[in-house]
Amino acid sequence: MTLIKSISGIRGTIGGRTGDTLNPLDIVKFTTAFATFIKGKKIVVGRDGRISGQMVRDVVCGTLVGMGYDVIDIGYATTPTTELAVRWHEADGGIIITASHNPRQWNALKLLNSEGEFLTAADGAEVLHIAEAEDFDYAEVDHLGRVIIDDTCDQRHVDAVLQLQLADVEAIRQRKFRVCADTINSVGGRILPRLFDALGVSFEILNGECTGDFAHNPEPLEKNLGDIMQKMKNGGFDLGIVVDPDVDRLAFICEDGTMFGEEYTLVSVADYVLNEANSSSSNLHSSLNTVSNLSSTRALRDVTEKYGGKYTAAAVGEVNVTTKMKEVGAIIGGEGNGGVIYPESHYGRDALVGITLFLSSLAKKGCTVSELRKTFPDYQIAKNRIDLTPETDVDAILEKVKEMFAADPNASVNDIDGVKIDFPKSWVHLRKSNTEPIIRVYSEALTMHEADELGKRLMQVVYDMQ
């Protein structure tokens, strides 16, 4: 399995030959490059529950100490907890040891700046350049760093979420919700019970032991969630909650065992935030603007415009979304993969924020989860791919697609990330992969059949060009 190096960090599978996978040598080199780039004195390190996490943590922390850094080791921690901890400790940066939704054999290093946010593309490219050059200076013996353990961050995270202006804790407590949560044998099983207890929510946790031995594929998609969906169908719960191993993605399941729709996590939370901000009694930020990436559902645009706000699309990637959110002063944003970014908390996807705002909305509306879902525009997204040969000029193909639809009066073309073509009642987005010779084809329409047909029509256009 090839080690994947990108502006957001490195990731790969554990074990195998040097140079082919994520191994201690690569971890040392990349950690050293990041520390060289940061030019600081203190870095926060947190990790999810993966089997390889302790090994990677030991290498990362040892390397940082060798660079003269003090390491704030917060141990098992969600990605948003680590992001917040960088700010709490006024650190110069952070390293999150997590491969997010990838299977158990994967791990990765994700890099944060002093704001607890992911590096920009330019900064990430500079770290890669430093790593390739391998021109490193380590600390003299009298100037080595030290490791400082902080085990308070989970509770600080929960406390911070409860302090959010729109976290209606009293309304949630009065509803006496009962939830079932699948925390996929990672850090969600440690922090979500704290959140539920603080909110007065009774709960049952599936796969709650933080072993890293994932009970199923950890990506929170319907095909992987048979156990919790059946649990919900059996009755007794108001809401099903699913997080990924580092707890920045969030999916809901209705009380009848049907999927709420991962795309609609952000839509539902945004609807609540926009409604509250639009009310005369609110003293929230006056902006009603929202942002999501180009491959996310159009429903967010519809909901935003309902309240008189402006929706803006960003290139795919969390840092692109947060950058655009700052540009337009968005009150909320995120990604259709269940990632909620709420600036009052921080500029990062945070499932704890999403859960609390969703429960606040549900409590104040006094409805069931399935009833809430019916209040939103209903779109369906189809996901396809075009396999290409390594020598294919993908950029040239996408440019031809753009030119083909530029003159179409019924189409609007956006080329900030691949090519997205908006039609009155549908859209299709073609985007090249950064790691393999394929074009990802996402399409959305009012029915899955229409969405799939639109995607396949564009796929045929590409095939005809070759």
Start-to-end CA span in the chain (Å): 29
**High-pLDDT (> 70) share of the chain, %:** 97
Cβ of 111: how many Cβ atoms within 10 Å?
Answer: 24
CA atoms within 13 A on the CB side of 66: 14
Q: What is the spatial distance between Cα 362 and Cα 351, in angstroms, rounded to a whole number?
A: 16
Q: Please work out, in degrees rounded to the nearest 5, the angle formed at the alpha carbon of residue 212 by the alpha carbons of 208 and 218.
A: 80
Task: Note if 443 is an active site residue.
Answer: no
Non-local (6+) Cβ contacts of 141 within 8 A are none
The closest alpha carbon to 241, from 304, 297, 178, 287, belongs to: 178
Non-local (6+) Cβ contacts of 61 within 8 A are 45, 71, 73, 147
pLDDT in tens, 244-258: 999 999 999 999 999
The first and second tokens of residue 346, run together, are: 């921080």
CA atoms within 13 A on the CB side of 387: 0
pLDDT in tens, 143-152: 999 999 999 9
The pLDDT assigned to 329 comes to 96
The closest alpha carbon to 7, from 434, 464, 438, 297, belongs to: 434
What is the residue-level pLDDT of the chain in tens, covering all 466 positions? 567 777 677 888 988 776 668 899 999 999 999 999 999 999 999 999 999 999 999 999 999 999 999 999 999 999 999 999 999 999 999 999 999 999 999 999 999 999 999 999 899 999 999 999 999 999 999 999 999 999 999 999 999 999 999 999 999 999 999 999 999 999 999 999 999 999 999 999 999 999 999 999 999 999 999 999 999 999 999 999 999 999 999 999 999 999 999 999 999 999 999 999 988 555 555 689 999 999 999 999 999 999 999 999 999 999 999 999 999 999 999 999 999 999 999 999 999 999 999 999 999 999 999 999 999 999 999 999 999 888 888 899 999 999 999 988 999 999 999 999 999 999 999 999 876 788 999 999 999 999 999 999 999 989 888 7
Query: Per the residue annotation, which of 6, 8, 52, 100 is the catalytic one?
Result: 100
The pLDDT assigned to 287 comes to 84
Q: Please work out, in degrees rounded to the nearest 5, the angle formed at the alpha carbon of residue 318 by the alpha carbons of 314 and 320.
A: 40
Amino acid in the structure at residue 141: V
Q: Please work out, in degrees rounded to the nearest 5, the angle formed at the alpha carbon of residue 393 by the alpha carbons of 390 and 396.
A: 160
The secondary structure of the chain, three-state, reads CCCEEECCEEEEEECCCCCCCECHHHHHHHHHHHHHHHCCCEEEEEECCCCCHHHHHHHHHHHHHHCCCEEEEEEECCHHHHHHHHHHCCCCEEEEECCCCCCCCEEEEEEECCCCCECCHHHHHHHHHHHHHCCCCCCCHHHCCCEEECCCHHHHHHHHHHCCCCCCHHHHHHHCCEEEEECCCCCHHHHHHHHHHHHCCEEEEECCCCCCCCCCCCCCCHHHCHHHHHHHHCCCCCEEEEECCCCCCEEEECCCCCECCCHHHHHHHHHHHHHHHHCCCCCCCCCCCEEEECCCCCHHHHHHHHCCCCEEEECCCHHHHHHHHHHHCCCEEEECCCEEECCCCCCCECHHHHHHHHHHHHHHHCCCHHHHHCCCCCCEEEEEEEECCCCCCHHHHHHHHHHHHHCCCCCEEECCCCEEEEECCEEEEEEECCCCCEEEEEEEECCHHHHHHHHHHHHHHHHHHC
User: Phi and psi of 23, rounded to 5°?
Assistant: -125, 170
The first and second tokens of residue 87, run together, are: 């700010």
